[in-house]
Amino acid sequence: MRINRVGADISVLSDQLPVPGIGFLPVNAFVLLGAEPLVVDTGLSLPDRGFMDALGTVVDPKDVRWIWLTHPDRDHTGSLFDLLEAAPQARLITTFIGAGIMSTERPLPMDRLYLLNPGETLALGDRTLTAFRPPLYDSPATVGFYDDRSRACFSSDCFGAPMPTAELADCGDASDAPRDALRGGQLLWATLDSPWVHNVDQEAFRRTVQPLREMDPEVILSTHLPPAPGHTTQFLDLLETAPQADPFVGPNQRALEEMLASFEPAGAAPMPS
């Protein structure tokens, strides 16, 4: 994992996942340092990703007071239980639905839960976090937040984009990506991760974007995009076009067989049809 810094009090624990035919998907977790240190998501649920080691270079887990789970998908929950064990004072921020989904995998310590709904706030001593539902999401449990001290918007999956190279996937600034690759990647991700966007009333969808315009964050921090300072207006304008973007259509069985065949050694038996 790579550690990127945003301002004085935010560290980005950057990982990535290669997706054949699409690119390299950033997978970020975040540490918000302050009076009550907070960790946002806990990385991929794959072996040997080194999340806890990377986290330890930023903050002593024993000092962590809060863990914000933006939603309980496996690319957000990888080291959750390791962190709960290593951070005995930390409470887990999620929703009633999020806690329920997590409980289908492993029981959560109910006395350590802090249920927070969109529109509610949480004071952390030197800052106030305001929870909100991002305009795009792939889980009914998704809740992002705005930090009034750093003026950062933690948007969960919203605004994500596969990157054309591994180096760009874990870079420190989304501006490093070519403009066309960034724009195309964000529209691709919007339609892949939130396919329902093609079925909504477009004016109603625009109204879900308006609160972020009023929020006007200085930096957008998405799980699936390098840090993006100074891109808010550009990203929101693009987001409003997502309902008109081409729907994502994934590879079918024939495409899978062609991909597998390209990796088969000479003389290997073909796949049964």
The CATH number that applies at residue 137 is: 3.60.15.10
Q: Which residue has the higher pLDDT, 192 or 261?
A: 192
Task: Note whether residue 272 is domain-resident.
Answer: no
Question: How would residue 15 be classed by pLDDT, with cut points 50, 70 and 90?
Answer: very high
Specify the residue for token string 């006395």.
111
Task: Note whether residue 273 is domain-resident.
Answer: no
For 77-135, how does the pLDDT look when each residue is reduced to its tens digit (9 = 90+)? 999 999 999 999 999 999 999 999 999 989 999 999 999 999 999 999 999 999 999 99
Q: How does the average pLDDT of the chain come out, rounded?
A: 94
Task: Note whether residue 28 is domain-resident.
Answer: yes
Of the candidates 250, 66, 71, 251, the residue with the CA atom closest to the CA atom of residue 158: 71
Q: Give, as one character, the DSSP assignment of residue 163.
A: B
Task: Note whether residue 266 is domain-resident.
Answer: no
Q: Which two tokens stand for residue 163?
A: 């990157």
Total count of domains within the chain: 1
Question: How would residue 260 be classed by pLDDT, with cut points 50, 70 and 90?
Answer: confident
Question: How would residue 272 be classed by pLDDT, with cut points 50, 70 and 90?
Answer: low
Question: How would residue 263 be classed by pLDDT, with cut points 50, 70 and 90?
Answer: confident
Task: Note whether residue 110 is domain-resident.
Answer: yes
Residue 220: strand pairing partners: 153, 228
pTM: 0.93
Q: Which residues constitute the domain of residue 118?
A: 2-261
pLDDT at residue 202 greater than cutoff 70: yes
Nearest 5°: CA angle at 145, between 220 and 45? 80
Task: Note whether residue 63 is domain-resident.
Answer: yes
